[in-house]
Amino acid sequence: MNVCAKATRLLFLTLVLLGYSHVFAEESSESPGPVLAFSMGSTLGFSENPLKINSDEYGDWSVQGVATGLSFRQTNPVASNASDYSGFSNAQMILQKTNGPVQLLVQTGLYAMPALGVSYMRPQPTTESNFNYLPQAYVSLTPNENWSLAIGKMPALGGGESVFTYQNINIQRGLLWTQTHVITQGMQLNFSKDIFSASLAWNNGAYSDVYNWLGGAAGIKTGDNSNLTVSWTGALSGNAQNTVATPLLQNNSQIANLIYQYQDDHWSVMPYAQYTYVPMNTAIGINGQSQSLGLALLTVYHVTPLEKGVAPKFHVSIPIRFEYQSSYGNNNLANNPAGLMYGPGSAAWSGTLTPTVQWGKVFARGELSYVKAFNPLAGQAFGANGLNNNQARIMIEAGLLF
């Protein structure tokens, strides 16, 4: 079956689900969706869920579910990838308690993490090679409205995009995202008051076995609709671990971000800059230093305007992302001479368009993306032999957030 037929079947399933969305809506109240302990982009959101408990004695509890599938076709696939794929992308459940002095979040299930410029991995090997079937599980000690201390398995500081497809305005994460780490284990102290917020984190970096990473972030509200965030996180010592979840270079890096965000009823805009640095450490096989510098612009036009910053029950949006990233240094890594990106001295730009519609619990979105690499190291770019310098993908994702 070709990708068009598969995509048609996926869209047909979405239309069936849309038909049932009226039933789902009748079960839900008209109040806003639940407050989630992890970030969501402005194009998708969870609706009110009947599986919740509001108790003066035991606190407020909720259970959310995610069920999504995707289909895509790509040009110049690498040797380990097919030119097309159709299947599920997320099957998850999220349990959370969001009030009181002790709060928590537990997330379980399977997930895919598609990203521009890298090969696609199916949900089961992605889950088992990265954060397993419990990608997040942490407790937050919250003595008052200003302070909290999160302990456990949680999102890492840094970067402009989140872990899972449905959390982001685009289906695929961008070029800059691939240089960061996304889930980590440790603790994070948070403070917020008035227009200022700050975080301090100690953890095991890119999900390694060594707790040698320190990080901090500070944010300030620059206007009624805007804020500015600066962050740094990095390894304090060397670590030779090198796996899918813990790439050697990224796990020994320093990551700095400057992120500006603006949002009104019709526009969400986020330009940000990212710098990463990997020092030479011959004792663990890093025989030279590497650096990357990236610039990104993520925008969303909300065809259906937001209501007090929240998407209405029926919401149509058009997200667009542009990126440019360069890599430089003299890295000569023994087992991976490519170093960061597509080799020392390489660069790339990307463009991504993701029209999105959500109706209650059901959503569907299409995506067209393109990556162009410059000066890639031979064998480290696209195509069966890694010699092509560009890749285009057309993708559809649809499913339920309930």
CATH number at residue 179: 2.40.160.10
Alpha-carbon distance 235 to 251, whole Å? 7
> How much is the pTM?
0.86
Domain count, the chain: 1
Tokens of 11: 């869209």
DSSP 16: H
Domain containing 65 equals 3-401
Amino acid at residue number 203: N
At 138 the three-state DSSP class reads strand
| Half-sphere exposure for 240 (CA within 13 Å, toward CB) | 7
Alpha-carbon distance 10 to 4, whole Å? 10
At 24 the three-state DSSP class reads helix
DSSP 4: H
Alpha-carbon distance 212 to 205, whole Å? 7
Whole-number Cα distances in Å, 194 to 146, 197, 204: 9, 8, 31
For 144, phi and psi rounded to 5 degrees? -155, -175
In the block, tokens 């969706």 appear at 33
Alpha-carbon distance 395 to 85, whole Å? 9
Tokens of 374: 């410059």
Supply angle C-alpha 73, 66, 202, rounded to 5. Answer: 95
For 178, phi and psi rounded to 5 degrees? -70, -15
What is the reported pLDDT for 219? 95
What is the reported pLDDT for 80? 81
Tokens of 77: 């696939």
SS3 content of the chain, % helix, strand, coil (to 5): 10, 50, 40
The secondary structure of 331-363, three-state, reads: CCCCCCCCCCCCCCCCEEEEEEECCEEEECCEE
Q: What is the pLDDT along the chain (402 residues), one digit of tens a residue?
A: 444 444 434 433 433 333 333 333 333 333 333 344 567 899 999 877 656 777 777 778 889 999 999 999 999 998 888 899 999 999 999 999 988 899 999 999 999 999 999 999 999 999 999 999 999 999 999 999 999 999 999 999 888 999 999 999 999 999 999 999 899 999 999 999 999 999 999 999 999 989 999 999 999 999 999 999 999 999 999 999 999 999 999 999 999 999 999 999 999 999 999 999 999 998 998 888 889 999 999 999 999 999 888 888 899 999 999 999 999 876 554 444 446 888 888 999 999 999 999 999 999 999 999 999 999 988 888 998 889 999 999 999 999 998
What is the reported pLDDT for 260? 97
Bridge partners of 313, per DSSP, are: none
